[in-house]
Amino acid sequence: MEVIIVNTALELASEAAKFIKNEINTKPNLVLGLATGDTPLMTYDKLVEFYQAGLVDFSKVRTFNLDEYVGLHKSDLNSYYYYMHHNFFDKINIQEENIHLLDGFSEDFNQLAKNYDKLIYENKGIDLQLLGIGINGHIGFNEPDVKLEINTHVTGLTEETLNQNSKFFPNIEQMPKQAITMGLGTIMRAKKILLIATGARKAEIMARFLEDSSISTSTPASTLLLHQNLTIMMDLEAARLYLKEKKMTINENNNQEYKNIIRRFSTI
């Protein structure tokens, strides 16, 4: 596991986008797993900048999104279908047939979930999965529970997640109470995982996640500690408690290629 710490959320977006760009340039037909929410927005903006500058080509890239709200049509401004097209897909040269999104308005979610996992398998799995993390440790919409699902499935949303995401809706009553999400097995089968976290509100969960040496269903993200190719990027606000607990100091990075990185280290 590699941990990369940068000063600001903007610098993190630059480094995360660079990481993804390099993976695409190495493998033009990369299968890319994508996340939504606040955290990846600046990363998508930076990837659009790279595309407009001719530094990356998305024409052969295939994408699979992590999740979608149950009950929202793709035309809904709060759907992740809209989010992805509005913030990313409509601004790059990705082919529509290479975009795979879960349908929150499906008539048969069980069959949808099975077909989604099958389609990922038929595309030889996800090469790089981009993840955020919830303040309760969820990834995708895999919420803390007494058991965790392996495959893509419908799940209820916890009160913490509802409160955190309610800002995107007129009021919390109008927010969907369920979502369909990749399961932890689907996520863990990705060949590489990039987890990004920004802001002070993520500091507590990142310190707990990285300090805990056990796997717990109460912190679904802890499953990632078993992955053999995990990269974690945090801004200084998200990393501050972890640095304090580890009694780490910041080492300035003088490498111009990675000028935003102020600390980079590997850990088990």
The angle at the Cα of 153, spanning 165 to 122, to the nearest 5 degrees, equals 115
Q: What is the mean pLDDT of each run of 10 residues along the chain (268 residues)?
A: 94 97 98 96 98 98 97 93 97 98 95 98 97 95 92 92 78 85 97 98 94 87 95 96 79 59 75
Instruction: State whether residue 105 is helix, strand or coil.
Output: coil
Contacts 24+ apart (CB under 8 A), 141-145: 141/66, 141/67, 141/179, 141/180, 141/181, 142/181, 142/182, 142/183, 142/184, 142/187, 142/220, 143/220, 144/217, 144/218, 144/219, 144/220, 145/217
Could you list the active site residues?
Answer: 67, 136, 138, 143
Beta bridge partners of 178: 156
Name residue 108's amino acid. D
Q: What is the pLDDT of residue 159?
A: 87
- Domain 2-266, classified CATH 2.40.50.140, yes or no: no
Q: What is the pLDDT of residue 265?
A: 75
Judge contact between 116 and 109, C-beta under 8 A: no
Backbone angles phi, psi at 72, to 5 degrees: -100, 125
- For 115, 121, 128, 154, the CA distances from 149, given in Å and listed in that order, are 16, 17, 21, 10
pTM value is: 0.93
Give the per-residue SS3 of 161-226.
Answer: HHHHHHHHCCCHHHCCCEEEECCHHHHHCCCEEEEEECCHHHHHHHHHHHHCCCCECCEHHHHHHH
Backbone angles phi, psi at 2, to 5 degrees: -110, 135
Q: What is the pLDDT of residue 81?
A: 97
